[in-house]
Chain A
């Protein structure tokens, strides 16, 4: 059973608009969440993270929101740029355990 779910396999967004990628989780033990970005033929690279004690974390064009009661987090990219086209993974862990549990990924396509 998948503990971290990214239900949208792909998402297409116009350049300059907001991209919203969603992630749901089932394990209430998770206390740290991360987003990774992956280009073809490369491993995922870290993008942004959030601890369960927060509900929002912002870094430039990227903002992650956490709704613990709904066990849901989202990544907002504003404004979307062509270089943002990639696969985005949501991952979660607990108690400083470095074993990340990964979602299936969402392929983001930014249209010019």
Chain B
């Protein structure tokens, strides 16, 4: 079966721009969570969606937002990009409405210049 698909794989943006990243979960998975991975900070939780509702949100500024569609696909948006937003953004999907059984995507490598 197809894994978690994240598009695009690589992205270069300039400061002040906005960006939208996409995540298609494994078929049947209803939970999608987003993480920011950087060398210094490790993996930081952004938010989690389940059945189109944001269930949990990490400690990130309001410039980071997301949504989930009825087919469980999810998007995250970052507005007014800053240099510090350069990171690997990972999406993980899970079939259950509780913790566990995560499958991670390959990530989107965002570079802000």
Contact = CB atoms under 8 A, between A and B. Distances in A.
Interface of A: 9-10, 36, 38, 40-46, 87, 89, 98-100, 102, 104-105, 107
Interface in B27-77: 35, 37-39, 42-45, 48, 55-56, 58
Interface of B: 35, 37-39, 42-45, 48, 55-56, 58, 88, 90, 92, 99-104, 107
A105 B58 contact: no
Contact of A40 (B56, B90, B102, B103): B56
Contact of B99 (A43, A45, A87): A87
Interface of B is mostly: strand
Contacts of B102: 87, 89, 102, 104-105
A44 B42 contact: yes
5 contacts: A10-B100, A41-B56, A43-B43, A98-B38, A102-B92
